[in-house]
Amino acid sequence: MIKRVRSWLNQENSQQTHQLSPDNIPEHVAIIMDGNGRWAKRRGMPRIVGHQNGMKAVKRTAIAANDLGIKVLTMYAFSTENWTRPKDEVDFLMKLPQEFLAIELEELIEKNVQVRMMGHPEDLPSHTLSAMEEAVAKTAGNNGLILNFALNYGSRKEITESVKTLGQEVRDGILRPEDITEELISQRLLTGELPDPDLLIRTSGELRLSNFMLWQLAYSELWFTDVYWPEFTKDHLVEAIANYQQRTRRYGGLS
Ligand code: FPP
């Protein structure tokens, strides 16, 4: 894999790409894709045009992540709070996964990508859920990039549900309270066996987590950019990773 990444890096002309060390590519990158609405508004267009262009950035970024040898890319596509937006916008956002997959699934399969979904499926419209489930099933045998869509995802709800599950297991006598460890809590979250994100990217200049992966981001490196999500390109991903590679991760210890 390192050899493949090295050869891809060599083909790239951007100065920044050359600066990347193929031995220190983050295993899991999580992205809060923000700024679709502002991007559209700035151009005098309706917000949904921003989301439509945001979908193109999803494709660019997934392909770039795959080429770079990132193992997991988690993308915050719809939060448990986004239902409060106007119905037209919610309906549009709920159609995007099936549109995206209708256009891109073939190429994702070819590139060995595994599509996953992380969120609460019960509230999703059936057309959204069935498109996602089909993509997950069709790519389940692949072993390349895990492209993990956070869809109807909210971290506090996720943590609450995992606490309920553990409580039930204690009540059923499967677990004792003293058996509950950080690892066990991690396993009961929607990320399951996935590694915690090494790097979190948020676009559009907002500096907050917005109920995204609150447990899993405990020791992640954070990178914020003013760029609106529809403008995000491979170069921005490379810039974020170059910045990540300059950090010393201490996990509360000393370097
Ligand atoms: C935040 O920008 C973005 C969203 C709530 C939706 C993100 C969705 C996509 C990028 C497309 C998803 C595509 C697939 C394939 C699932 P915002 O609308 O809050 O922007 P604003 O802060 O400028 O208003």
Residues 110-162: tens digit of each pLDDT = 999 999 999 999 999 999 999 999 999 999 999 999 999 999 999 999 999 99
pLDDT the model gives residue 87 = 98
pLDDT the model gives residue 249 = 87
Whether ligand 1 lies within 6 angstroms of the CB of 229 is answered as yes
The residue from 82, 148, 152, 198 that is catalytic is: 82
The candidate with the shortest Cα–Cα distance to 251, out of 220, 208, 214, 213, is: 220
Tell me the C-alpha to C-alpha distance, in Å, between residue 123 and each of 75, 79, 205, 214: 19, 12, 30, 22
What average pLDDT does the segment 197-215 reach?
Answer: 98
pLDDT at 13 over 80: no
pLDDT at 196 over 70: yes
What average pLDDT does the segment 40-55 reach?
Answer: 98
For residue 16, name the pLDDT band (cuts at 50, 70, 90).
Answer: low
pLDDT at 1 over 70: no
Contact 159, 127 (CB under 8 A): no
For ligand 1, atom 1: residue with the closest CA = 34
Domains within the chain, CATH numbers bracketed:
23-154+197-244 (3.40.1180.10)
Give the mean pLDDT of the chain. Answer: 94
Handedness of CA 226, 227, 232, 236 (dihedral sign): negative
Q: Which residue has the tokens 């993509």?
A: 135
